[in-house]
Structure 1
Amino acid sequence: MVSKLKINSRRELSKRDKKIFGQFLEHFHRQIYGGIYDPTSAFSENNGFRQDVLEALKRIQVPIIRWPGGCFVSAYHWKDAIGKQRTPYFDKAWRVEESNEFGTDEFIEYCLLLGAEPYICTNAGTGSAEEMSDWVEYCNLPSEGKWAKLRIENGHPAPYKVKYWSIGNENYGHWEMGAKDVKEWGRFVRESAKMMKRVDPTIELMAASISDLDWNLDLLREAGQYLDWISIHDYWDKVQENNDLSDYETCMAYTMDIEQPILKTKYILGSLGYLGKIRIAYDEWNLRGWHHPHVNSGTEDYLTPRDKNDINSSYTMADAVFTACFLNQCLKHSDVVGMANFSPIVNTRGAIFTHQEGIVLRPTYFVFELYTRYLGDIIVDSWLSESSIFHVDTANMTKSIPNVDAIATKRSGSEGLRVALINRHPDQAESVTVQLDSSIQYSNAVLYSVVGDSKDAYNDIGKEHVRIIEQHLNWKIPSDLTVEIQPHSVNVLVIK
């Protein structure tokens, strides 16, 4: 069966925010130290930043980075990580000593070098509203007050002008330091937001949330007037304790569950009158959760198992295809989803892996490269018909998975089309006929594809089995355009 994609390019649905291609960094394992920051590496300059990582991130046009966590932030005190005298402490989230060598000033410098917006997540666990507002003062006030003056003393005379701030991280969860209940959270966010926006009324504020009615009812009733965003998180392959990764087919079943939390959160915002006023930041997401077993154990090794996150064979075309399906949902709902932060960007489950001799670009990296380089910013109306399906048996039920997932875009000021086409099927190529508006004159078409030698293909040191290929299509204009997309592939069709 040939899948048919009908596109009404005249009907523009929304304009996507480039922040949906955002990234995330936490002080966990080798994301900061040995990841983006490694003064001992031959790839680092005097500032300690690995230049090979920096250049790779520039290639995918990272728009925004969320930092410093994550669970880490809920017992993090930023004042110990500025200036010449850094105070190490024992990080109770991950049970390691944190040197505080990389702090606010280093993070801002890194964002400036990268050309990305800094997004700071604050300590709403063991921290206070005053500590959060002092952080805004340090970053954003020109010279008023103790903390702005200290920034100047530390060698940074110009304010950092950090626009995006989050109150907390997963404070609804029992695993978080300083977890809060529903009633505590709304009032805490309100009082924190008041102080932060008194320091700088121009900042945009998020609050840790979840796609849950009760949590959001209280949060929005108490603090909605101060918020610009609410933050939600998800990992679908939950392997925190046991690193038994789901196979390709199960990961495709997970793609059918991406949209639900977006819709649920959107409906909650709408029911309380906040659609168009508060947007969704999916500011921590990945297919696979981070592996960190025994974190509460007094007898079992909780550090060494974290190295399993660095096994490159874990990251296959399943990760690439899932990532593309996730981004397609963000694009589809870009009227309300304005930010998403892949968790994390370097090491752990990241798109980039660092080692002594260089870096490995994992399959997810190429999806970001494909989408940021070739897709457009205007989402136009499109729909699939006659698409084939395959079936996956999960623990709870048999799921029907459409072979093809698609979304159509164009760039501002252009009639050309840029269509994301994903083939979820593990081993079957798929033909897609794109039905175009006959009133628009098109000239040529190019298909850019992230492909792997098999559904389990991965990249490793000295091995690149996943890559981007380019194909100029033989198309008899003005007939409809039929393209064949490889199995387990992510594609962007550019029609000029």
Structure 2
Amino acid sequence: MKVHINEKRVLGKRDKMIYGHFIEHFHRQIYGGVYEPGSPMSDEDGFRQDVLEAMKKIKVPVLRWPGGCFVSSYHWREAVGQKRTPMFDKSWRVEDPNTFGTDEYIKLCRKIGCEPYICTNAGTGTPEEMSDWVEYCNLETEGKYARWRIENGSGKPYKVKYWSIGNENYGSWEIGAKSAVAWGELVRESAKMMTHTDPGTELTAAALTDLEWNINLLKNCKDYLRWISIHEYWDGINQTNDYADYGQCMAYTKDIGHSIDEIRGLLTAMKLEKKIKIAFDEWNLRGWYHPNVHTIRQGLTKEEYLYPRDENDDNSKYTMADAVFTACFLNTLNRNCDIVGMANYAPIVNTRGCIYTCPDGMVLRSTYFVFDLYVNYLGDIVLDTWCEDAAAMEVKNKQGDTVPVDSVDILATGFSEGKGLALAAINKEAGEVRSITLSIPCEEKDGTMSYLANKVSMYSLSGSSTESYNDIGHMDVKIEERDLGHFHADMVINLKPHSVNIIRIGD
């Protein structure tokens, strides 16, 4: 397969926030995950130091919190100040001690150096409650909530720029679900009060690929919103934990960006594509396992609805399928950098996260290293590419149908600061090596070709099989670096089966 790259054909500059993450009060994401006071592995503020370092290594740019479905019955006032009031979380049916609240979350963001992104309660909450939260976080001294923050030890405002009105309020599973008409009206009034409190906020609101819902939302709120929020979990196994196998996961990569395409079309039709961007603020290959809780018939015993959540902790299930799929979606986000300005992998710690914790340490799952590759080695200027004689393969989806998909997914990038090229090259084949030939126009400068004799480095993530995974005492998936010598015209590079690769040419 010949890959044609022309540095003059620029698709756009991607925002680093597309490599964002998400954390929710579900299972062990907060308590026993990132936050574990009393643990010998935690710092003086109760944060797991190993987790903080792992998050800093992948330069988490933005962290969405506190939900997720959790937020739709969450009242932020109960989790600030000296006296914390435990709450029964009606979404996940557990008691939350509220020891991790707004102040702890902001402290977490500052420790890892990321932007906070707060999702508000649009289920049982009110526009006033949402705007009071903005006051607490962003006003200097005006108002009782700003003064309450000062009383709680934070003299300077938190300056939270990004706020989401609601989570998945279109869904029957969400506490406080709304109709399309009611949603447009609620978001408008909430946005009005929030921007009156702090005009510097950037607001998004829950949406999906539904025409009626989005038209009602945008007709009512287009003047207030800077973002529109969408979510997607391709392998929806919330009730069954029936994991798609490797081939079935590759079937999901066909038309992987359909949600983006549909929302782009609507924004363009309403002449909003220059004003409102997409925040893909929850995404993962697989849905979280939580049976008998987001259903009409609820589980009666904890054996039915609570304890099964521990099965999310089985590290052997997070294989190269997850890594390859994740890389394919990151390629898609990059290619849509003109309209997608933020994305949040859900979650970052435990459940289906890329970091797993236990009392004695942590495990970096296969998906963690995908973010490591993309954040630390790929460029930010997205270039157009054309693949000649592109290879294809056929896989079976979960319904047993044959699905044709491309074998190789290529993304080419340059650097806004510095020279050189970086390619993300994904081989989806389960067992076959795929070769790519790089065709890059090289202008003559002083009698030499601009990329000739430049060093070529390759950073590869793969495993001994498609089922390779990492666990305590078991490290089968990691990044390997190779020196490929110096670039030459029509250079051929071999991609291992089921691998994610970053190829760096030049500086």
TM over 0.5: yes
TM-score range, shorter chain: over 0.9
Match of 1:221 among 219, 222, 228: 219
Of the structure 1 ranges 37-46 and 166-175, higher mean CA displacement relative to structure 2 is found in: 37-46
CA-CA distance at 1:40 after TM superposition: 2.6
Corresponding position of 1:191? 189
Q: Deviations over 1:87-120 (max 9, x none)?
A: 0011000000010000000000000010000000
1:143-292 → structure 2 map (5 Å cutoff): 143-292=141-290
Of the structure 1 ranges 243-252 and 392-401, higher mean CA displacement relative to structure 2 is found in: 392-401
Distance 2:442 2:149 in 1: 59
1:407 aligns with 2:407: no
1:387 aligns with 2:396: no
Corresponding position of 2:493? 483
Corresponding position of 2:364? 361
Match of 1:321 among 317, 320, 324: 324
Q: Which residue identity does 1:72 align to in structure 2?
A: F
Distance 1:413 1:154, change over 3 A: closer
1:23 aligns with 2:25: no
Q: Which residue identity does 2:98 align to in structure 1?
A: N
Contact 2:459/2:482 (CA < 8 Å) preserved in 1?
yes
Q: Give the secondary structure class of the aligned counterpart of 2:133.
A: helix
Corresponding position of 1:492? 502
Of the structure 1 ranges 296-305 and 239-248, higher mean CA displacement relative to structure 2 is found in: 296-305
Q: Deviations over 1:297-318 (max 9, x none)?
A: 2246211100000000010000
CA-CA distance at 1:396 after TM superposition: 6.0
Contact 1:438/1:478 (CA < 8 Å) preserved in 2?
no
Distance 2:340 2:266 in 1: 14
Q: Give unmatched runs, 5+ long, in structure 2.
A: 444-448
Distance 1:143 1:383 in 2: 55
Match of 2:347 among 344, 348, 358: 344
CA-CA distance at 1:366 after TM superposition: 0.2
Corresponding position of 2:430? 426
Q: TM-score, normalised by structure 2?
A: 0.96
Match of 2:300 among 293, 298, 301: 298
Match of 2:467 among 453, 456, 459: 456
Q: Deviations over 1:338-390 (max 9, x none)?
A: 00000000000000000111000000000000000001111011121212211
Contact 1:211/1:265 (CA < 8 Å) preserved in 2?
yes
Q: TM-score, normalised by structure 1?
A: 0.98
Distance 2:57 2:351 in 1: 20
1:469 aligns with 2:480: yes
Q: Give the secondary structure class of the aligned counterpart of 1:474.
A: strand
How high is the sequence identity, in percent, across the aligned residues? 56
Corresponding position of 1:416? 420
CA-CA distance at 1:27 after TM superposition: 0.1
Contact 2:457/2:485 (CA < 8 Å) preserved in 1?
no
Runs of 4+, deviation exceeding 4 Å: none
CA-CA distance at 1:453 after TM superposition: 1.2
Q: Deviations over 1:166-199 (max 9, x none)?
A: 0000000000000000100001000000000001
Contact 1:25/1:346 (CA < 8 Å) preserved in 2?
yes
Distance 2:363 2:201 in 1: 36
Q: Give the secondary structure class of the aligned counterpart of 1:267.
A: helix
Distance 2:321 2:396 in 1: 16
Q: Give the secondary structure class of the aligned counterpart of 1:230.
A: strand
Q: Which residue identity does 2:199 align to in structure 1?
A: P
Q: Give the secondary structure class of the aligned counterpart of 1:256.
A: coil
User: How many matched pairs?
Assistant: 493
CA-CA distance at 1:455 after TM superposition: 0.5
Match of 1:114 among 103, 112, 127: 112
Q: Give the secondary structure class of the aligned counterpart of 1:450.
A: strand
Q: Deviations over 1:236-265 (max 9, x none)?
A: 111111111010000001011321110000
RMSD: 0.9
Q: Give unmatched runs, 5+ long, in structure 1.
A: none
